[in-house]
Amino acid sequence: MSLNVNHIDKSFDLTRALKQVDFEVKDGELFGLIGPDGAGKSTLFRIMVSLLIPDSGSCTMNGYDVVSQYRDVRKIIGYMPGRFSLYMDLSVEENLAFYARVFGTTVKANYDLIKDVYQQIEPFKKRLAGRLSGGMKQKLALSCALIHRPDVLILDEPTTGVDAVSRREFWDMLKKIQGEGITIVVSTPYMDEAEMCDRVALIQKGTILDITNPLEMGDDDVPLFALRSDRGVYTHLDKIRKLEECRSAWLFGDELHVTLRSHIDASAVVSTIECWNDPSIRWTSITPSVEDRFMGLIQEEK
Amino acid sequence: MKRFFGFVKKEFQHIFRDVRTLVILFGLPVVMIILFGYVVTNEIKDVDVGIWDKSRDQVSTEAIQKILSSGYFVLAETIDHEEEIESLFKSGKAKVVVVFEDSFEKRLLRENRAAIKLITDASDANSAMLVQTYLQGVLANYFKSVNQAGTIPWEVEIKSRMFYNEEMTGVYMFVPGLMALILMLISALMTSVTITREKEFGTMELLLASPLRPREIILGKVTPYVLLSFINAMTIILLGFLVFDVPVVGSLWLLMLECMLYITLALSLGVLISTVSKTQQMAMVFSMLGLMLPTILLSGFIFPIDNMPGILQWFSTIMPARWFIVVVKNIMLKGTGFAFIWKETLILLGMTLLFILAAVKRFNIRLE
């Protein structure tokens, strides 16, 4: 097991940031932690990289305890904090050389590992890090986190504030790094990125709601339907929620997504909807995405 | 070791790329020295002078004429009693009183020697020193010119006396005091700011999550400033010599060693400050209010410690600068050896160890 998070609790003053967080990440896995801002992702990551101490519970990284064996943990991890944390007044290559030295290695020794990432910013290697674009900063930060060939790569919201194309590229790079046998734990607020992970944990208000394989989502036995209307679906939300057959319903873009208690209920709902005097209304069965899964879980919590 | 040098290199890159840092680091000491230097070498003009001519003969009258026509001095009052000197100073009517002894000319002609007393109000030590130098110059010129015919040179003994500040500590006090102030400012302020900057920019998070040990981070941060502060100390000594004519009478090596000790002390104070402040601004306020002001006010740099109220005198004993100033004064001005300053050195050493210990202890290996 690369990472073992064992019933962790963490509070700041009166806020309970993490409640009984418990999961494992396998060797070589690309593991995603998905949840909105303030869900406790960064706190959890900081505990994992030995920067915070949990109130209770334990966490081991490749078998090293992050509290008592923090020095060993710090040698085997590559960490990219949520905030861009490189030296703005140093150039691209100076930043990279500095982090290589801090970990007792050189850029040359591990160049092949970072090559794919670094080559994209190499033309700007003399430029100060503070003058890079968001996407380039993120690539540099990833290069710096990788330069010592860590066993586990911890990336806290690496794609936040980065354009869609760069985000796509970034995930491709992560896949390649995973191919080198490096375990990756990554957090993101973007649901659509979940599909790139082997497994994702959904986190909300400090609690892990579910851990799932994003590709196996469709096999779920909870039926999901989409309701569309040219007149807008917002007015229908309350009515749908009041239906006996409805398990949960939420806004999804310009659609309403609805889960029902069972497949049999579908026809009953269809006949109810027909009485709503909205000829443009459409009702279709769909395959749930990670976001649906997440929204469904949050709705049920309420 | 490689790790450490990598860190130091990075630190130098930060320093040499930040204009503000460079200005404070190298501009400030020079500007302060030049400023004080300007004050000291300031031209004097129209200084009020009191005359007490006990002799009233031809030579003394002519000498007085010379003084008053030199352009530097204006006659305030002629007096003929000892007590009037003090009242002239107290009322501020005169800055200096020139006293010719009785039978001045007679003594000169008969014994080839006579005396003039220059009494200065030295509460403003700098100008008092200047006034004396000027007066001595004017008088020396005059006696040389009137005695050209004489075969035996006249010996005019010019006795100087300072009122209120007899040892004339003021002028020379600036260099040791300035040194204590600048080194404290640069070392403590710069290190505390540079460490809190890493916290503020989030880079400390990465440093902490790396295999770097706290002592490597601290030493890596501090080493460049040790070197730069040392250069600063040497600059101050050199400029002091060039601008103030303040020589290093004692051992330069000993002085350098003491400077290193004091720099180390100030740096560890800086590290300590950084461990209690979250932002650069906080670190700056702590350094300015907590270190600079007490250093200026309580170290004896500007206000003599003997004149302070008891509680402040006691408080001044915990000011590192106070002991450092004593050390520098002894080595630079009096030329004394280590035997006379071991006590002060020991106090500084003790303080340094205390601060280092506290700083290392307070330096957090985690984020909270």
- Chain B residues inside the 8 Å CB shell of A85: 201-203, 205-206
B126 pLDDT tier (thresholds 50, 70, 90): low
Residue A235: CB atoms within 10 A of its CB come to 11
Dihedral sign (CA B269, B270, B271, B275): positive
pLDDT of residue B39: 63
Instruction: Give the pLDDT confidence of A137-149 residue by residue, as tens digits.
Output: 999 999 999 999 9
> Phi-psi category of B112—alpha, beta or left, where left has phi over 0 and alpha has psi -120 to 50?
left
Question: Once rounded to an integer, what is the mean pLDDT over residues A193-211?
Answer: 89
- Does the pLDDT value for residue B122 go beyond 80? no
Q: Tell me if A98 and B209 make a contact (CB, 8 A cut-off).
A: no
Where in chain B does DSSP place strands (E)? Answer: 47-53, 73-78, 96-100, 113-121, 155-163
Closest-CA distance, B206 to chain A, in angstroms, reads: 7
Q: Please enumerate residues of B whose Cβ is less than 8 A from a Cβ of A.
A: 2-3, 5-7, 9-10, 13-14, 17-18, 201-203, 205-212, 365-368
Task: Say whether both B176 and B291 belong to one domain.
Answer: yes
- Chain A residues inside the 8 Å CB shell of B208: 51
- Chain B residues inside the 8 Å CB shell of A86: 203, 206
Rounded Cα–Cα distance for residues B230 and B187 (Å) = 10
Cβ burial, residue B20 (10 Å; 0-12/13-18/19+): exposed
Domains of chain A are: 3-214 (3.40.50.300), 220-301 (3.30.70)
Rounded Cα–Cα distance for residues A205 and A203 (Å) = 7
Domain edge (last residue) among B115, B133, B163: B163
Task: Say whether both B81 and B31 belong to one domain.
Answer: no
- Does the pLDDT value for residue B165 go beyond 80? no
Task: Say whether both B180 and B153 belong to one domain.
Answer: no
- Chain B residues inside the 8 Å CB shell of A101: 2-3, 5-7
Rounded Cα–Cα distance for residues A221 and A135 (Å) = 39
Question: Once rounded to an integer, what is the mean pLDDT over residues A7-35?
Answer: 93
Task: Say if residues A287 and A224 touch (Cβ distance below 8 Å).
Answer: yes
Asked whether residue B367 is domain-assigned, the answer is no
pLDDT of residue A87: 94
Closest-CA distance, B25 to chain A, in angstroms, reads: 18
Distances from the Cα of B9 to the Cα of A88, A94, B34, B201, angstroms: 16, 10, 32, 19
Asked whether residue B368 is domain-assigned, the answer is no
Task: Say whether both B221 and B325 belong to one domain.
Answer: yes
DSSP state of A231: T
Asked whether residue B155 is domain-assigned, the answer is yes
Among B10, B195, B216, B368, the strongest candidate for a mutation testing the A interface, having the largest count of A CBs within 10 A, is B10
Task: Say whether both B194 and B319 belong to one domain.
Answer: yes
B205 three-class SS: helix
Place of tokens 């504030």: A161
Place of tokens 């019933």: A7
| Largest Cα–Cα separation, chain B | 90
Task: Say whether both B75 and B220 belong to one domain.
Answer: no
User: What is the number of residues in chain B?
Assistant: 368
Question: Once rounded to an integer, what is the mean pLDDT over residues B96-105?
Answer: 89
Asked whether residue B358 is domain-assigned, the answer is yes
- Does the pLDDT value for residue B151 go beyond 90? no
User: What CATH number should be reported for the domain holding residue B157?
Assistant: 3.40.1710.10
- Does the pLDDT value for residue B306 go beyond 90? no
Q: Tell me if B368 and A85 make a contact (CB, 8 A cut-off).
A: no
The minimal CB distance from B206 to the residues A50, A75, A85 is found for A85
- Chain B residues inside the 8 Å CB shell of A99: 206, 210
Task: Say if residues A129 and A137 touch (Cβ distance below 8 Å).
Answer: yes
Domain edge (last residue) among B138, B163, B188: B163
The HSE-up count of residue A258 (CA atoms within 13 Å, CB side) is: 32
Task: Say if residues A1 and A25 touch (Cβ distance below 8 Å).
Answer: yes
Instruction: Give the pLDDT confidence of B201-220 residue by residue, as tens digits.
Output: 999 999 999 999 888 899 99
Task: Say whether both B196 and B157 belong to one domain.
Answer: no
Asked whether residue B91 is domain-assigned, the answer is yes
The whole domain housing B208 covers: 2-39+169-362
Task: Say whether both B52 and B21 belong to one domain.
Answer: no
- Residue A50 φ then ψ, to 5°: 75, 15
Number of domains in chain B: 2
pLDDT of residue A221: 66
- Does the pLDDT value for residue A60 go beyond 90? yes
- Mean pLDDT, chain A, integer: 89
The tokens for A251 are: 């806004």
Q: What's the one-letter identity of residue A297?
A: L
Question: Which pTM value belongs to this model?
Answer: 0.76
- Does the pLDDT value for residue B283 go beyond 60? yes
Task: Say whether both B227 and B339 belong to one domain.
Answer: yes
- Does the pLDDT value for residue B33 go beyond 80? no
Instruction: Give the pLDDT confidence of A85-132 residue by residue, as tens digits.
Output: 899 999 999 999 999 999 989 999 999 999 989 999 999 999 999 999
Candidates B119, B118, B121, B117; CA nearest to B91 is B121
Closest-CA distance, A10 to chain B, in angstroms, reads: 13
Strand partners, B172: none
Candidates A248, A252, A215; CA nearest to A233 is A252
Task: Say whether both B157 and B234 belong to one domain.
Answer: no
Domain edge (last residue) among B163, B180, B200: B163
A127 at the B interface (CB within 8 A)?
Answer: no
Asked whether residue B298 is domain-assigned, the answer is yes
Q: Is the confidence metric ipTM above 0.90 for this complex? A: no
Task: Say whether both B152 and B223 belong to one domain.
Answer: no
DSSP state of A57: E
Give me the residues of A, 172-201, that contact B with CB < 8 A: none
Task: Say whether both B204 and B76 belong to one domain.
Answer: no
- Does the pLDDT value for residue A156 go beyond 90? yes
Dihedral sign (CA A97, A98, A99, A105): positive
